[in-house]
Structure formats: C-alpha cells, structure tokens
Amino acid sequence: MNPAPLQDEELLNFLLEAQLIGEADLRAIKRHTEKTGLRADQAIADLAILSDEQIGLIVADLSKIPFTKVGNLKIPRKILDLIPGKIAKENLILPMKADGNFLQVATNNIHQAELLQFLEKKTKKKIKLFYAATMDLKNALRAYEIPLAQKLEETKKAIEVKGGKQGAEAIANLLDDIIYYASQERASDIHIEPQEDEIIVRVRMDGDLHDILFLPKEFEDVLITRVKVLANLKTDEHRAAQDGRIKMDFPDIKLSLRVSVIPIHDGEKVVLRLLAGQTSLNLESLGYTQQQLNILREVMQKTHGMILVTGPTGSGKTTTLYSVLRIMNTRDVNISTVEDPVEIRLPGVNQVQVNNEANLTFANGLRSMLRQDPDILLVGEIRDTETANIAVNAALTGHIVFATLHTNDAASTLPRLLEMGVQHFLVASTVNVALAQRLARRVCPFCIQSKELSLRKLIDLFSTFENFDAKHFMEKISNGGRKRKTSEIITIYEGKGCNSCNQTGFYGRVAVAEFLEVDKEIRKLISKKTLAGDIIAQARKKGMMTMMEDGLLKSLQGLTTPEEVIRITRE
Ligand SMILES: [Zn+2]
C-alpha cells in the first residue's frame, strides 16, 4: 500500500545533482544527522538549507506521494478524533478526510509503517498518505489544541474548587500554556503587565504586540513568583529590576527564554523573550538575494578586515551575524565574541557577556580576547571611541572583525566611525562591507493572492521619499536589458488572511537589506572624508541596491508588500 521510504543517500544525491545543495551543505547535513539522529530531510529543514516547503515537495515527489497543503483545512472534530491528539502531534500525522473505506492522512514522515498499521486497525479504514511540509503540518495540528481562553476558565475553576496549593499549580500551568502558545504563534516576546485591576498578557508577533489574555489580579503573586523561580531570580525582591534565563522542555519543543522583571506602579512587569536558539541560522532562509549572498560568501573567504552591520533593535542583525559565524565556525579557527546580551549560543565559540559592574566593557572584553589569539571577532556594538579603535586595529592586524553600529543606512556607518575618532585612512583600509537591514513581514504563503497595478502607481507611492531614485529603480527592474515602461502592469502580492497567519496576512519575516561593498573608489572617498550621501551615490553607480529598492523587488517577488517596505524603511 505505502511506497518504500526514501533513503537519505538517494535524497542527498538528488539534491547535489540538482545543485540545490553544495558540498559544504552536504557536510553540514551529515554532521547534523549524526549528531541528532534526524533524517536528512529533517536536518535540511532544521538547518534551513532549503525551505520546509521546498524540501517537502522534493521528498514527496521522490517518494511518489501526493503533496498537499493542510494549514487552511477546516477538519471536523469527528475526523480529528480518529487519531488521538497526542499520537498525531508526536508523529506529525494529521487525519484530513474520511472517504468511504479510506482515511486521508497527511504527514511529513512516511517511515512509520508500524504506526500506519496501527491506525488502519484502529480506524478500520485504509490509510491514504499525503505528504505535507513540517511547518504547515504543525500549524494544522493546532486544531487539536484547546484555546487559551478555555484554559483560563479551567484555571479559574480549579482555584475556586480546589484553592490553595492546587490553585497555585493551575496558575503555574497556565504560564506554561501561555509560553507554549507564544512559541507556536512564532512570537518573539511575551509581556505580562499588571494593571490596577487586572493583568494583561500580550505577545509580539512579526513585530506587532497583540493582547492575548486578561487575567484576574489575584493571579499576580503566583504568576510572577513562578517566573522568578523558573529563572532563578530572588522571589522576595520586588523593588529592583532582575534579569535571568528560563529553559523549558515541552513534548515537541525545547525553549530558551530571556527574562526581565521590572517594578512598575501596579506591580512587577515581566517580559519574556523567546530566544532564537531554535530558529535556523541560515542566510538563505533570511531572504537575501543571490547577489547579497555572494558578497557575504566573499567576506567569509577573507583573512582580515571589518564587516559592519547596522539596523535598529529587532532588525535581525544578530541572526545574520551568527548565520555567518556558524559557517565560519570550523575546528581550526578561534572565534570570540563580546556582546550585551549574548542572545544566541554557538558551541565552540567563546562568547563574553558585557558586565559593566565588573568593568567588563566592550572595550575591555575586546582587549582580553585579543590576548587569546583569535581569528574572528564579533563586537556586539561599537558605541565609543575606545572600542572603535581597538576593533579597527584588530582588523588591521590580521583578524576578521564583525561589528554592529547604530546608523540609519549602510553608507552612514563609515562617517560614523570617523566621528568616533577613528583615523580616516584606517577606516578606508579596514572596512570590507557595510550592511544595513530591517525585517519586513513576509506575505503568508498559505493565503497569498496577487494584485495588479501599473508600475507608475507603485513608483508614485515611493517617490515622495527623498532617498528613492525612480530612475535607478527602473534600471534595476529592467527585463533582461529591455527597459520597462511605467505604463506597464505589474503584479504585487498580499495575504488574504487565514488560520495559519491568524488572519494577519503575514507569516514570518524577510530581511530587506543594502550591502555596501567598499572598493577602491569608495576607499578614496572615505580618505577624503566624503559625506554619506556621496558614498551612496558612488555605490549606486556600482550597482548597490538600497534597502528600499531591495524591499520593492521583494514585493514584486511576493515576499512582502510595498506598504511593509515603506513602514520598515521609515523607522
Ligand atoms: Zn495566511
């Protein structure tokens, strides 16, 4: 009935031949499968070497199983109940439809013959297999979950009926449920905000905060204490701010959270940040263009020099830097970082946390690291002359230095270093690439729809921005040398709203970036202390795309929307 399971070897050979992966990827996949015991397709998705859906389509095709999308299915309860929720979730197997003697089932793992046999016996139906991508399946499997609001009602009842210790336990469980819910919603932060007469729980999803729950004020003590206990904080301290970390294991996911508790007027406010530990550190999945990836690959080949990254908090700088470090992290190099805070942990890398009380500043940390024979350094942030000078000197003396700075765009990083007192010839001879980025919300792939408009209209939308150069943009989107006309009709995209994206039309995020390569001409401009505007003009001549242009091109590819591009580049 069911096809023979696809072997790792066969899949990897296919991907290599189709040039969908390279030799370096192959080594990474093998290392990952050996370490984790995952199958190759899971490892590929885990490392985000290919997108979940890409790898799903390929595996389905090679296994000769029909591919399906399940995120938007409305599956009746009586069908769901054919497979118990626990089994369904643990094995990522979803009943979709019962059809006479057949039960249609979607899974991403066809290597479970015994389970399928068991299900056939239990349901007394023949199982018809479909293949669905992992994330899509996980979304659909949420149909089994009890909504948070219902859990809150159950908690209230438990307190009423049982009170005391068991009531407190119910509140603690509710906290676990909130954290699990947030991770399932791909939220980045959870805010627990005591008000005068209630507690508001909000989560940040794709950049925006949403209220998810209103809790009775009586929950406050137990809830905050539970957070403090989990994070190893002082439970009797109510007047000072405290920071810590929480690790939580759920049946299907391990979570790591950064915790901050601060006293406010109506109690103590808690912010839990879900750390990026489990998002894949993969440059392709961030949505860089081929040209941008090539620049980064070139940077990784260099033996010295500086790579500057700029962007506001939450622009994905850390993810980008760690994706690069992950690739460079081989046994024969010494990588050291000094950061505040250390957000992502990478095995084999020496990560130093800034601690101002102990006088472990960026500058001091950097100085100590340099005494330990490093090859690659990451400076979490350059914000003073001292740190800037040490970093530049390190880059000059045979180290690769990655650093972030606070500026609006890539070109401004160069004058910024000069302002901080670094000699212009040093900036000119050390900086290889300056990169600025933002994260735009990605159009939901499960409910994407197209929309037509004239190119003129799109350009009008952007021409009020002084840094938008319509002529340059028209050149960028020329079609194989043929110039486009502004009267031409083009297609943009938006998400209609569905279950997978919580009716927002967005799902995840995509990097919108500009990469300024420092070449001979630009070095000359820096030596002459030229302003950022002239540096951009020169870089544009050489083909640099600004963030706005990059975002616009991504909206033509259906990755994001023009409105998103405006929103993020204005920040
Ligand atoms: Zn959607």
Question: Do 257 and 287 lie in a common domain?
Answer: no
Question: Do 232 and 191 lie in a common domain?
Answer: yes
CA of 301 to the centre of ligand 1 (A): 39
State the pLDDT confidence band at 35, using cuts at 50, 70 and 90: confident
Question: Do 350 and 400 lie in a common domain?
Answer: yes
CA of 192 to the centre of ligand 1 (A): 27
In this structure, of 60-69, 108-117, 486-495, the range with the lowest mean pLDDT score is 108-117
Question: Do 288 and 163 lie in a common domain?
Answer: no
Q: Could you read off the pLDDT of 529-560 as tens digits, one per residue? A: 888 888 988 998 888 899 999 999 999 988 99
Q: Could you read off the pLDDT of 307-343 as tens digits, one per residue? A: 999 999 889 899 899 989 988 888 889 999 999 988 8
**Which structural domain range is residue 405 located in?**
283-570
Give me the CATH number covering residue 544: 3.40.50.300
Q: Rounded to whole angstroms, what are the CA distances from 69 to 47, 55, 74, 359?
A: 22, 14, 12, 54
Give me the CATH number covering residue 244: 3.30.450.90
CA of 445 to the centre of ligand 1 (A): 6
CA of 495 to the centre of ligand 1 (A): 6
CA of 498 to the centre of ligand 1 (A): 4
Question: Do 299 and 237 lie in a common domain?
Answer: no
CA of 74 to the centre of ligand 1 (A): 14
Instruction: Look up residue 117 and give its amino acid.
Output: Q
Residue 249 belongs to some domain of the structure: yes
Question: Do 130 and 156 lie in a common domain?
Answer: no
Look at residue 470 and tell me whether its pLDDT is greater than 90: no
Q: Rounded to whole angstroms, what are the CA distances from 428 to 384, 415, 417, 425, 521?
A: 19, 11, 10, 5, 10
Domains identified in the chain, total number: 3
- Of the three residues 223, 243, 274, the one that is the final residue of a domain is 274
Residue 3 belongs to some domain of the structure: no
Question: Do 177 and 37 lie in a common domain?
Answer: no
Q: Rounded to whole angstroms, what are the CA distances from 241 to 268, 355, 375?
A: 9, 15, 37
CA of 562 to the centre of ligand 1 (A): 17
CA of 506 to the centre of ligand 1 (A): 6
Look at residue 247 and tell me whether its pLDDT is greater than 80: yes
Structure tokens at 397: 């003396």
CB atoms within 10 A of CB 80: 17
CA of 560 to the centre of ligand 1 (A): 13
- Of the three residues 120, 143, 166, the one that is the final residue of a domain is 143
CA of 90 to the centre of ligand 1 (A): 25
CA of 568 to the centre of ligand 1 (A): 21
What is the per-residue pLDDT for 570? 81
Question: Do 514 and 431 lie in a common domain?
Answer: yes
Element (H, E) at 523: helix 520-527
CA of 63 to the centre of ligand 1 (A): 28
CA of 93 to the centre of ligand 1 (A): 21
CB atoms within 10 A of CB 360: 16
CA of 386 to the centre of ligand 1 (A): 48
Residue 1 belongs to some domain of the structure: no
Question: Do 433 and 480 lie in a common domain?
Answer: yes
Strand 431-443 with 305-310, pairing: parallel
What is the per-residue pLDDT for 3? 58
Residue 367 belongs to some domain of the structure: yes
CA of 205 to the centre of ligand 1 (A): 14
Report the alpha-carbon distance of residue 571 to residue 408 in Å, rounded: 9
Q: Which residues surround ligand 1, an ion (CB under 5 A)?
A: 444, 446-447, 495, 498, 500-501
Question: Do 422 and 362 lie in a common domain?
Answer: yes
Share of the chain above pLDDT 70, in %: 97
Question: Do 60 and 85 lie in a common domain?
Answer: yes
State the pLDDT confidence band at 277, using cuts at 50, 70 and 90: very low
Share of the chain above pLDDT 90, in %: 45
CA of 72 to the centre of ligand 1 (A): 8
CA of 449 to the centre of ligand 1 (A): 10
Q: pTM for this structure? A: 0.66
Residues 6+ apart with CB under 8 A from 556: 477, 490, 491, 492
- Of the three residues 257, 274, 291, the one that is the final residue of a domain is 274
CA of 448 to the centre of ligand 1 (A): 7
Element (H, E) at 207: none
CA of 564 to the centre of ligand 1 (A): 16
Q: Could you read off the pLDDT of 156-193 as tens digits, one per residue? A: 888 888 777 888 888 988 999 999 889 877 788 999 99
State the pLDDT confidence band at 96, using cuts at 50, 70 and 90: very high
Question: Do 474 and 407 lie in a common domain?
Answer: yes
In this structure, of 4-8, 233-237, 513-517, the range with the lowest mean pLDDT score is 4-8
Choose between 149 and 220: higher pLDDT. 220
